[in-house]
Amino acid sequence: MNATTTAETARRTTAAKVVGSLGVVAVAAAVAGLGVFGSFTDSTQPAMASVTNGVVSIDLAAAGGAGAAVPLRFASMVPGSVRTQAVDLVNNGDSGLSSITLATVATTSSLLDSDRAKGLQTTVRSCSVAWSADWTCAGAVRTVLAPGPVVRTVALTDPASLTAGAVDHLAVTVTFPAAAGNEFKHQSSELQLVFSAVQRDGSAR
């Protein structure tokens, strides 16, 4: 009995030692794992951001708040006549423009607008300040629409109103060619002038 008891006690002691050793290994592995996957992190406070759209807008107004009324009227023209009316073209948006196009169409047509050679011709000039009473410009003047048939669609040449907030003080001149004959008597046309703007391409900021 004593021999058996002694053997069993020895086996139990050995088993206890093995288990104890495994426990130490397991704890060591767990500590090593914490060291491998540990890290530091940080973040900033939230930064607020807002996004708004730009406004593309142009408008026609009577020159200087007075001047010619809109719509424009060119009455009692005979061959050789030249008539000029003033109007302001305003970029009242907050976006730059890549182009402004003038489209003139005849809502009531006659030889005055359908004859492209002897019919009415138009020219549009822009002054950096308001036009004087005798149609002279005290500032910088440029021709934004070269002479040509009254009915057409053409992009204006470098108008000031491409810039947001800028104004073109326009002088719209209509000429009735002296070569027009009797076939133009008792003719009448109604014209519609439409300025159309296209926004400038966006840029990185």
Q: What CATH number corresponds to the domain at position 95? A: 2.60.120
Are 139 and 84 in a shared domain? yes
Are 97 and 149 in a shared domain? yes
Composition of the chain by helix, strand, coil, percent to 5: 25, 30, 45
72 inside domain: yes
Q: What is the pLDDT of residues 27-76, one digit of tens each?
A: 444 444 444 555 666 666 777 765 766 677 888 877 765 544 566 778 88
31 inside domain: yes
Cα gap 194→59, rounded to integer Å:
10
pLDDT higher than 70, residue 7: no
pLDDT higher than 50, residue 176: yes
Q: Is the pTM of this model over 0.75?
A: no
For the chain, the domain total comes to 2
Are 71 and 22 in a shared domain? no
How is residue 182 annotated by DSSP?
G
Angle at 177 between CA 174 and CA 179, to 5 degrees: 170
- Asked if 87 and 173 touch (Cβ cutoff 8 Å), the reply is no
52 inside domain: no
Mean pLDDT of 128-146: 95
151 inside domain: yes
47 inside domain: no
Domain range for residue 74?
58-199
pLDDT of residue 8: 52
Are 127 and 194 in a shared domain? yes
111 inside domain: yes
